[in-house]
């Protein structure tokens, strides 16, 4: 099944996922919701969330973001100037909290120094330049950079994570090892469209949680009649 058809099938099964969850002004908890426009602060929150979500579940990141919101710390300047220990205590629920506090502090310092603290200025760059710059920063790898580009800068790159690799490996009948190989599978076979890339990645994550788990629920999966992994009997 080509990626476009697969996208349609997954979208009609699961419905829109409304990623990336962000916090409304005056609130504390990020919410999934259709938004016409992201504010500068929400874009920063997505970038911070993308760093905090490394090696942990989103529910832990939510608790860390709630802590930052409660303390009114979700601003570039405040994070850049915050004592490391204070920041680490606030992001503690997201795990690896000392490292992550250092990473978000570094990121905000970088924005302060190079873009007067305005993430939107960084996002004015073309995708390839933006990606290269993000990857050059401490603590930002492929997945985090692409999360930031797709969900905060709202530019079309396909995000590859562990759910994507597992699903593609099974559904395409052959594991694709590298990040770029997995990414190309989608980018070369779909219209280069931010909305589609946004929704498709979110749908794959949902599918990875519901059916295509580490131990997959293939018998119940709505995609099983076109999945080589299931059809070859590897699931049994």
Contacts to ligand SF4 by CB under 6 A:
170-171, 211-212, 216-218, 221, 223-224, 227, 229-230, 235
User: Where does residue 49 rank: exposed (0-12), middle (13-18), buried (19+ CB within 10 A)?
Assistant: buried
Q: Closest separation between CB of residue 218 and ligand SF4, Å? A: 3
Q: Closest separation between CB of residue 205 and ligand SF4, Å? A: 13
CB nearer ligand SF4, residue 119 or residue 227: 227
CA distances from 25 to 18, 48, 69, 91, 121 (A): 18, 17, 10, 20, 21
CB nearer ligand SF4, residue 103 or residue 166: 166
Type and span of the H or E element at 162 = helix 162-171
Q: Closest separation between CB of residue 200 and ligand SF4, Å? A: 14
CB nearer ligand SF4, residue 25 or residue 174: 174
Q: Closest separation between CB of residue 12 and ligand SF4, Å? A: 16
CB nearer ligand SF4, residue 140 or residue 227: 227
Phi-psi region of 173 (alpha: psi -120 to 50; beta: other; left: phi over 0): left
Answer for the pair 100, 61: CB distance below 8 angstroms, yes or no.
no
List 98's β-bridge partners, or say none.
none
């Amino acid at each position: 099944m080509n990626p476009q058809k697969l996208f349609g099938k997954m979208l009609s099964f699961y419905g829109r996922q409304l990623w990336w969850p962000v916090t409304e002004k005056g609130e504390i908890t990020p919410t999934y919701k259709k938004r016409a426009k992201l504010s500068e602060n929400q874009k920063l929150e997505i970038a911070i969330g993308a760093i905090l979500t490394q090696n942990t579940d989103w529910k832990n990141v939510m608790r860390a973001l709630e802590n930052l919101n409660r303390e009114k710390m979700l601003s570039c300047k405040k994070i850049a100037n915050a004592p490391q220990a204070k920041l680490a205590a606030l992001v503690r629920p997201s795990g690896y909290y000392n490292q992550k506090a250092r990473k978000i502090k570094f990121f905000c310092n970088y924005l302060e120094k190079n873009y007067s603290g305005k993430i939107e200025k960084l996002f004015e760059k073309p995708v390839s330049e933006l990606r290269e710059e993000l990857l050059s920063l401490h603590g930002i790898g492929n997945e985090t950079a692409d999360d930031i580009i797709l969900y905060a800068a709202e530019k079309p790159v396909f995000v590859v994570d562990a759910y994507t690799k597992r699903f593609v490996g099974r559904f395409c009948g052959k594991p694709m090892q590298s990040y770029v190989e997995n990414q190309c599978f989608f980018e070369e076979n779909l219209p280069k469209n931010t909305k589609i890339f946004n929704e498709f990645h979110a749908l794959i994550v949902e599918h990875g949680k519901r059916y295509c788990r580490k131990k997959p629920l293939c018998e119940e999966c709505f995609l099983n009649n076109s999945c080589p992994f299931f059809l070859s009997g590897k699931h049994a």
